[in-house]
Structure 1
Amino acid sequence: MSTRTPSVIIIGAGFGGLGMAMELRRNGFEDFTILERAAGAGGVWRENTYPGAACDVPSPLYSYSYAPKPDWPHRYSGSSDILNYLQGLAVEYDLLERIRFGTDVTEAAFDESTGTWTVYTADGTDHTADVLISAVGQLSRPQLPAIPGRESFRGPAFHSAQWDHSVDLTGKRVAAIGTGASAIQYVPAIQPRVEQLTIFQRSAAWVVSRTDREYRPIHHALFRHVPGLRRAQRLWVWCFLEFFALGLADLPLLRRLVTYLCRRTLEREVTDPTLRAKLTPDYPVLCKRVLFSNDYYPAVVQPNVDVVTTEITEIVPDGVRTADGVVHPADVIVYGTGFKGSEFLWPMRILGRDGLDLADAWTGGARAYLGMTVPRFPNLFLLYGPNTNLGIGSIVYMIECQSRYIRQALTHLTTHPAHTLEVTPQAARDFDTHTQRRLRRTPWSSCSSWYRNAAGRITNNWPGTVTAYRLRTRTLKLTDYTLTPNP
């Protein structure tokens, strides 16, 4: 049987894009190109440079299983350490020569006459390949709130994912709008040097202490030279997180344990009853992602910090006005207001069979078989696509599962040149029905969050353990796909 390795275009050079490229290279696939809109690799870890930026998943698990790093400086690593890890792997696997930086993809269209994808970029060039893989992720586009008067503010204002390091916050009055995963890290980092920090909180977050530690040279030596120690540490973290993930849908009683841990942290760290009431969420634990921090509560109890829960009505030139008519003066505004997580692939336009726009196929909410493939979009694969985000666990291993699965699809296409692979509508419907049924059993269905779109559909999260996803994606089931020869 004749074989021809399919050509591949990967969009994005973050954890997903680099992981996919390494999986291809490790298995003999060399005909691939990575298109990256930024000037360097790293994805969100290149973009998010705000003070205190770090990962809330332990580094032994927040890394590729086949590329362990024995010398992480901390159990929970900072953004610069993660970025160095990714960029080091790009060098080690000779991926830089395959990445076209500064290439912003605007559109991709499937050509039924050739069975190929043509990708168009903002600079007017186009690229063609047999297979298109999107690795743009879910957290790549910052979201600014639609607050009246936002443009009228006189001082510097920026999103946490676009931190303006030219602005010196020393002695300044800072308005921090939002209390999500980023704010919980940069608030403690900037609090000691600002004159006044006013935190505008729409909803409180459940917070639990994290068991961080510094890895010293002795630890690095042990991880490097003691057989099995790194794997044992990774396995321990894996089992710990998988145990708590069971509380999402399968063992609801575990939520009580998480609730107890969060409440104990709050009561221990915040003694003022008024402030503690403000910081107590009004939704069930795990409905939104539980945040890990040892210094957020100690920061917000400081005398130069004020937590405001009154709704913001407008931004004025000198600060922020709330619904009670009070203007809170500010020299700088920081928006910790998250990302447009449910707008998958937007603003790229993706056109499949018969010119079908993926945005139209996803009317009512994004969906994909195993989070990776969509009917009528042959040879298109998504990394970190719909319903593959995690409330608990490491997205890096999810990406590994997806990369292996897509590599199996490419292997099948290699033995069937001039063919396209397309998931059947029935397989996609069955998967989506089952996934949404399980999601209704999770805490995410009981409150609003970025996990849900405007219609209330949970488009982002996987309703279970990483182990369950690994089992579902271990083998490419050809009965779920149609193999079609090109005209």
Structure 2
Amino acid sequence: MQAYQVVIIGSGFGGQCAAIRLQEQGISDFRILERRDFMGGTWCQNSYPGAAVDVQSPLYSISSEPYQWSQMFVEQDELQRYTNMVIDKHGLRDKTTLNANVRQVRWDEERKRWIVETEAAGTFEAQILINASGPLSTPVIPNFPGRDSFQGKSFHTNAWDHSYDLRGKRVAIIGSGASAAQVIPAIAGEVASLHVFQRSPHWVLPRPDRRFSGFERWLLGFKSLHKLLRWGIYWGLETRVIGFKYSKTMLNVVAERVARKHLATQVPDPVLRKKLTPDFTIGCKRIILSSTLYPALSRANVKLHDKEDGIAEINAGGIRTAQGEQVDVDLIIWSTGYDATDGVISYPVLGKGGQSLAKVWEEFPRAYLGTAIPGFPNFFVVTGPNTGIGHTSAIFIIESQMNYILDSLKRLKQSGKQSIEVRPEAEAEYTRMIHSEMEKTVWKAGGCRSWYQSKSGHVIAMFPGFSFTYRWLAAHFKPKHHRFA
């Protein structure tokens, strides 16, 4: 058994931020476990055509690691280079075990250590366990009738097969969310036909992208100027919360009007335009930023199937629709998202007394600051329940969580004890506050059913407020909310 002070599960931005902060605090006795055979998380795994970030790059980056970005919304390959730069700069490859898919973690009450069992890399133990596997790491493929009978090629956007030549192929893409909105324009021009199966339409806004000139990139090399641009973008995006939570008028007058004009301008066909018009308040589901999706869907070789013409079954040759049409295809692309709410942690977690986290979260996932859970000492969840953010950079929230986690470790060391655990009443109070505030938001009251919600109907993916509010909460450690043992 390999023993460390800290074990971090996941090597994406969450795991990288945790490792960097630990090293800054002089903690070098840690190990990162990565289930894949490469490091980097989302932006190294998701390499589908058209993959790009939808938050401005100067903000969607680690605050201590500025970068001379090539454009405002960079594509996957540049994000992958950035990720690898961070990993190499901080020597994280030597701190990582690859192919270490976690089978189970359990708390040893007597020794006050976490035991981490992996499928192929052996067993690890640690005083502190940080889960940074991320909410967008477990792909979901719906179990349509006949799904396994299809004789052609199929894969999820999360596991794109680059060896497969799309040119001249008959393709179906199932799903119409953020990933599909990037894939569709990227492949529509090279496939023979493309059938898009849409469960419900999304609101789409123009993508305000631009490439930086050489001079602008040179300026971004100055940390002070990079920081100025970063904070300018941050405060501009933060105003969106006013619409998401406090003012539907702002959403309707500003955002929805822009979205409707964008749709009307780019989709002249009234039948197609009707299929692409949502029936819920903008913001209730993830808003898509794209200036190329609508033109791609308007191409002669692309057909959009809405819910009335959806999938009845999958068969050997392709898809039979609800209208009885047989759509023969060579390839099915699953762009059907992730288990990002009820399945936010994909492996079994056993805490004090052998209690199962899955059982604790049976009604809906919840955690103090979205990070700590009663009954699970020394266990911290990065991007846990209600830490998602719909208007700004997720990395800002991750770094805020790190403030709380590092404060917890500091307080634990000062206490002379071996474990720290959030009190049940503190978590319950925090959870009540979160879901009371959530009632005011468009994610709860916007008239849609989205992946932001758990099976119970609770909005789990999002934090119901300004990101600076979350940072303030995470930065003010409350000893009375915790117990040490």
**1:386 corresponds to which residue?**
385
Aligned to 2:356: 357
1:482 maps to a residue whose letter is: R
Contact 2:99 2:120 in 1 (8 A): no
- The percentage of aligned residue pairs carrying the same residue is 37
2:452 aligns to what? 451
Structure 2 matches for 1:410-449, cutoff 5 A? 410-445=409-444, 446-449=447-450
Instruction: Give the deviation of 1:414 after TM superposition.
Output: 2.0
The alpha-carbon deviation at position 44 of structure 1 amounts to 1.2
Distance 1:169 1:439 in 2: 43
Deviations 1:112-163 (A, max 9, x none): 1111111111127211111111001101011101111111112111111111
1:43 aligns with 2:44: no
Matched with 1:3 is: none
Question: Which stretch shifts more, 342-351 or 152-161?
Answer: 342-351
What corresponds to 2:101 in structure 1? 104
1:139 aligns with 2:136: yes
**Could you report, residue by residue, the CA deviation over 1:233-265 in whole angstroms, capped at 9, with x for unpaired residues?**
111210121001222213333212111111111
Match of 1:11 in 2: 9
1:294 is aligned to 291
Distance apart, 1:311 and its partner CA: 2.1
Equivalent in the alignment of 1:276:
273
The aligned counterpart of 1:130 is 127
Q: Do 2:342 and 2:455's aligned partners in 1 also have CA atoms closer than 8 Å?
A: no
Superposition deviation, residue 82 in structure 1: 0.9
Structure 1 distance, partners of 2:417, 2:236, is 46
AA aligned to 1:42 is: G
Q: Distance in 2 between matches of 1:194 and 1:322?
A: 21
Q: CA RMSD in A?
A: 1.3
Specify the code of the residue in structure 1 equivalent to 2:355: L
Q: Distance in 1 between matches of 2:249 and 2:274?
A: 25
SS in 1 for 2:274: helix
1:130 is paired with a residue of what secondary structure? Answer: strand
1:207 corresponds in structure 2 to: 204
For 2:339 and 2:134, how far apart are their aligned partners in 1?
11
Q: Check if 1:242 corresponds to 2:238.
A: yes
Q: How far apart in 1 are the matches of 2:121 and 2:191?
A: 45
Amino acid at match of 2:323: D
Deviation at residue 277 of structure 1 after TM alignment: 0.3
Give the counterpart letter for 1:327 in structure 2: Q
Give the distance between the partners of 2:316 and 2:80, measured in 1 at CA: 37
Q: Say whether residues 1:57 and 2:58 are aligned partners.
A: no
Q: Is residue 421–residue 483 contact of structure 1 (8 Å, CA) maintained in 2?
A: yes
Task: Give the aligned residue type for 1:242.
Answer: E
* Letter of the 2:21 counterpart: E
Contact map agreement 1:288 1:444 (CA 8 A) in 2: yes
For 1:220-369, what aligned pairs fall within 5 Å after superposition? 220-225=217-222, 228-256=224-252, 257-309=254-306, 310-369=309-368
CA distance in 2, matches of 1:418, 1:113: 13
In the alignment, is the contact (CA less than 8 A) between 1:56 and 1:76 conserved in 2?
yes
Contact 2:138 2:346 in 1 (8 A): no
* Runs (5+) with no aligned partner, structure 2: none
Residue 114 (str. 1) matches residue 85 (str. 2): no
State the distance in 1 between where 2:409 and 2:463 align.
24
1:343 maps to a residue whose letter is D
Q: Which has the higher contact order (CA 8 A, sep 6+)?
A: 1
Letter of the 2:282 counterpart: V
Per-residue Cα deviation, 1:303-345 (whole angstroms, up to 9, x for no partner)? 1111111121101212211111111121111111111111345
Task: Report if the CA contact (8 A) 1:344-1:385 is conserved.
Answer: no
Q: SS in structure 2 opposite 1:366? A: coil
Deviation of 1:346 after TM superposition, in Å, equals 4.0
Could you tell me whether the CA contact under 8 Å between 2:130 and 2:381 is conserved in 1?
A: yes
Aligned residue number for residue 401 of structure 2: 402
What per-residue deviation string (whole Å, max 9, x for no partner) do you get for residues 248-307 of structure 1?
A: 213333212111111111111111111100000121111101010111011111111111
Correspondences of 1:474-485 after superposition (within 5 Å): 474-484=475-485
> 2:152 — aligned with what?
155
Number of residue pairs matched? 477
* Cα 1:37–1:375 shift into 2, 3 Å: same
Answer yes or no: is the 8 Å Cα contact 2:243–2:251 preserved in 1. yes
> CA deviation digits over 1:344-395, x for unaligned, max 9?
4543111111110000111111000000000011111000000111121110
Q: Distance in 1 between the 2:80 and 2:320 partners?
A: 38
**TM-score of the pair, normalised by structure 1:** 0.96
User: Any conservation in 2 of the 1:344–1:386 contact (CA below 8 Å)?
Assistant: no
Q: Tell me how far apart the structure 2 counterparts of residues 399 and 33 of structure 1 sit (CA, whole Å).
A: 19
Q: Aligned runs of 1:456-467 on 2, under 5 Å? A: 456-467=457-468
Residue matched to 2:193: 196
Q: Separation in 1 of the partners of 2:442 and 2:346?
A: 30
- Judging changes above 3 Å, is the alpha-carbon distance between structure 1 residues 276 and 331 closer, same or farther for their aligned structure 2 residues? same
